[in-house]
C-alpha cells in the first residue's frame, strides 16, 4: 500500500488559513476522485473540499475545530498501489480495528473515475464539485454513525517512529471510544473541566451535546431541552455559544468571517474619509408598484420587495451619475471609473456579515434582478457564499429597515465609493400636494435613505445628486422610463 496526503489547498482571495468544520469521512471509508471529504470555513465562506485521489482513508490528520494553514496535510489516503507501508492509526483518526476495515480498492479504471469527476455523483451520493464551488446545502451535518454510537478506535501506538505524523490527542473513554462533539461543545467541556470521554451522549449519532456537558458538570443526568418556540438569542446563536448560568463573561475567538469583516471595516473607516447624507422620501408609489409586480405572472416565481425597486433605482441613477461608481487606487494615485455595476447586498448571517454582489446588475431587467437577488440572499443565509461572489463589488445596499431601524451611517465596503442604507418603510403623516396645488396631510409610506461616500472620490455635489436621483425614482418609479 502507498499513503498519499491531501494538503489544504489555497482557497484564493489572499487567504492563508481555514478552520476545519465537518469531516464527511472516517478512517476506513473508501473514497473516489472528487468525493467531498471535509467542509472548511475560510474568512469569507464555507467550502467543501473534494479529495483528488481514490483509495481508503488511512488517517484524519486534523480535528474538527482546528485552524490550519494552507499546505498542511489534513487527510491521508491509501491508494492501494503498493509502496511504503501505511502509518499506524492514531487517536484523532478515529480508526476502526484493522480487521474490520474494508480492503483498499485498486486504482479505479477510467470509466470508474468518471463517476466521481466534477459534476458527477460521488460514492457518498454528493455532486462532485471544484474547490470553492460547493453544492448548496442548508446546513452542515455530521454523518450518522451506524447503530447510533461512536465507533471504537485502537489505542495509540506509543512506539510510533519519529517519522509518523503527529496527531493532537482527543478525548477517549475508558472503553477506547472517541467522544463526538462539535468544537463549541468541546470548548465548553474544557472550560467546565468535564472529560468528554466520560459523558453519556444524547445527540443523534452518539454526539455529545451542550446539555450533556452541562448535566455532567452539575452532576445530574442529561435531559433534552424543552421546546419553547423561542429562538436562541441572536448573539448566542450567531457565535455558536450559550452563556452558562453564573458566568459573567464569555470569550469568543475572533475568526472566520467575523475576523475578516472586522479587519475590512477598520481599514475602510480609517482609510476612506466618510461623509453621510440623508433624505426622507414618500415611497407610496414604490409600494404600489411592488403590489402590482407581486400579482404579475411574470414575477410569480421570484420575491418582489421594495429592496428590488431600490436596487433598480440605484442602477438607473448610476447612469446619470457614473462617477459614483468608482474606486480609489492609492498605489497609482488614480480614480478608477467602473463601467459596470456589481451591486452588493449586505446580509447578516449566523457566521457574521457578508456582502455578496450581483454581477452586472445594471444590465439586468427587473425580473432578472429579482431572481439574482433572491439566489444571492438565499445562498448567504445558508452560509455558502463563495469568495468570488463577494469580490469585485462597486456599490452596496445595506437594508437596516428589516430590523425596524429608520437610518444609520453605514461604513463603506472596502474598495467602493458609496454605500446606501435603506431604512424601514412605514406609514407616516405627510404633506401631499394635490393636482390643484392644494395641500393636505395624509398617511403615506415613507422611508429614509442614508448614503455614505468616500470624499476622496465623491464630493458633496455628486453625492447629493446621486442620492436625490435615487429618492426621486422611489417617489415616482415611472421616472425610470425617462432616465433609463
Smallest CA-to-CA distance from 413 within 318, 316, 238, 271 is with 271
Catalytic position from the list 24, 274, 323, 455: 455
Question: What is the per-residue DSSP string for 154-170?
Answer: PPP-TT--TTSPP----
Question: What is the per-residue DSSP string for 259-307?
Answer: HHHHHHHHHHHTTS-EEEEEEEEE-HHHHHHHHHHHH-GGGTTS---HH
Total count of residues recorded for the chain:
484
Query: Distances from the Cα of 47 to the Cαs of 142, 183, 232, in angstroms?
Result: 15, 18, 26
Query: Distances from the Cα of 270 to the Cαs of 165, 265, 328, in angstroms?
Result: 45, 8, 14
**Alpha carbons 174 and 98: distance in angstroms, whole number:** 20
| Three-class secondary structure of residue 134 per DSSP | coil
User: Given the DSSP bridges, would you call strands 395-398 and 343-345 parallel, antiparallel or unpaired?
Assistant: parallel
Question: What is the per-residue DSSP string for 209-270?
Answer: PHHHHHHHHHTS---PPPP-S-PPPHHHHHHT--PPTT-S-------HHHHHHHHHHHHHHT
- Our answer to whether residue 455 is catalytic in this structure is yes
**Alpha carbons 84 and 275: distance in angstroms, whole number:** 65
Query: Distances from the Cα of 423 to the Cαs of 254, 280, 380, 407, 447, in angstroms?
Result: 29, 9, 21, 5, 6
Catalytic sites, residue numbers: 455
Amino acid at each position: 500500500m502507498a499513503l498519499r496526503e491531501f494538503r489544504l489547498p489555497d482557497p484564493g482571495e489572499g487567504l492563508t488559513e481555514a478552520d476545519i468544520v465537518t469531516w464527511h469521512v472516517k478512517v476506513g471509508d473508501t473514497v473516489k476522485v472528487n468525493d467531498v471529504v471535509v467542509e472548511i470555513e475560510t474568512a469569507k465562506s464555507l467550502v467543501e473540499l473534494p479529495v483528488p485521489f481514490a483509495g481508503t482513508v488511512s488517517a484524519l490528520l486534523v480535528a474538527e475545530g482546528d485552524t490550519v494553514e494552507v499546505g498542511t496535510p489534513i487527510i491521508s489516503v491509501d491508494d492501494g498501489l503498493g509502496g511504503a507501508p501505511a502509518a499506524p492509526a492514531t487517536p484523532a483518526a478515529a480508526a476502526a480495528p484493522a480487521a474490520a476495515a474494508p480492503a483498499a480498492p485498486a486504482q479505479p479504471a477510467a470509466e470508474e473515475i468518471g463517476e466521481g469527476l466534477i459534476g458527477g455523483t460521488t460514492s457518498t451520493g454528493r455532486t462532485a464539485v471544484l474547490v470553492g464551488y460547493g453544492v448548496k446545502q442548508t446546513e452542515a451535518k455530521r454523518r450518522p454513525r451506524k447503530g447510533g454510537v461512536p465507533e471504537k478506535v485502537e489505542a495509540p501506538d506509543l512506539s510510533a517512529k519519529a517519522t509518523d505524523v503527529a496527531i493532537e490527542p482527543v478525548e477517549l473513554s475508558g472503553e477506547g471510544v472517541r467522544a463526538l462533539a462539535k468544537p463549541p461543545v468541546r470548548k465548553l467541556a474544557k472550560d467546565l473541566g468535564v472529560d468528554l470521554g466520560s459523558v453519556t451522549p444524547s445527540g443523534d449519532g452518539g454526539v455529545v451535546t451542550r446539555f450533556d456537558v452541562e448535566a455532567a458538570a452539575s452532576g445530574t443526568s442529561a435531559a433534552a431541552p424543552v421546546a419553547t418556540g423561542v429562538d436562541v438569542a441572536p448573539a448566542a446563536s450567531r457565535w455558536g455559544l450559550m452563556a452558562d448560568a453564573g458566568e459573567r463573561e464569555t470569550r469568543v475567538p475572533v475568526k472566520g468571517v467575523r475576523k475578516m469583516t472586522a479587519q475590512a471595516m477598520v481599514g475602510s473607516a480609517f482609510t476612506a474619509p466618510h461623509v453621510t447624507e440623508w433624505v426622507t422620501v414618500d415611497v407610496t408609489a414604490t409600494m404600489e408598484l411592488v403590489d402590482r409586480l407581486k400579482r404579475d405572472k411574470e414575477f410569480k416565481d421570484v420575491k418582489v420587495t421594495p429592496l428590488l425597486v431600490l436596487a433598480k433605482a440605484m442602477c438607473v441613477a448610476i447612469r446619470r451619475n457614473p462617477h459614483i461608481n468608482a474606486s480609489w487606487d492609492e498605489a497609482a494615485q488614480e480614480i478608477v471609473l467602473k463601467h459596470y455595476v456589481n451591486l452588493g447586498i449586505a446580509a447578516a448571517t449566523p457566521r457574521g456579515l457578508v456582502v455578496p454582489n450581483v454581477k452586472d446588475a445594471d444590465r439586468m431587467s427587473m425580473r432578472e434582478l429579482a431572481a439574482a437577488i433572491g439566489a444571492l440572499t438565499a445562498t448567504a443565509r445558508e452560509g455558502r457564499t463563495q469568495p468570488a461572489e463577494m469580490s469585485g463589488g462597486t456599490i452596496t445596499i445595506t437594508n437596516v429597515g428589516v430590523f425596524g431601524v429608520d437610518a444609520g451611517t453605514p461604513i463603506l465596503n472596502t474598495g467602493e465609493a458609496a454605500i446606501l442604507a435603506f431604512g424601514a418603510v412605514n406609514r407616516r403623516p405627510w404633506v401631499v400636494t394635490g393636482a390643484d396645488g392644494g395641500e393636505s396631510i395624509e398617511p403615506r409610506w415613507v422611508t429614509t435613505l442614508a448614503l455614505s461616500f468616500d470624499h476622496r472620490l465623491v464630493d458633496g455635489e455628486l453625492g447629493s445628486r446621486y442620492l436625490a436621483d435615487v429618492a426621486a425614482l422611489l417617489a415616482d418609479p415611472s421616472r425610470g422610463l425617462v432616465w433609463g
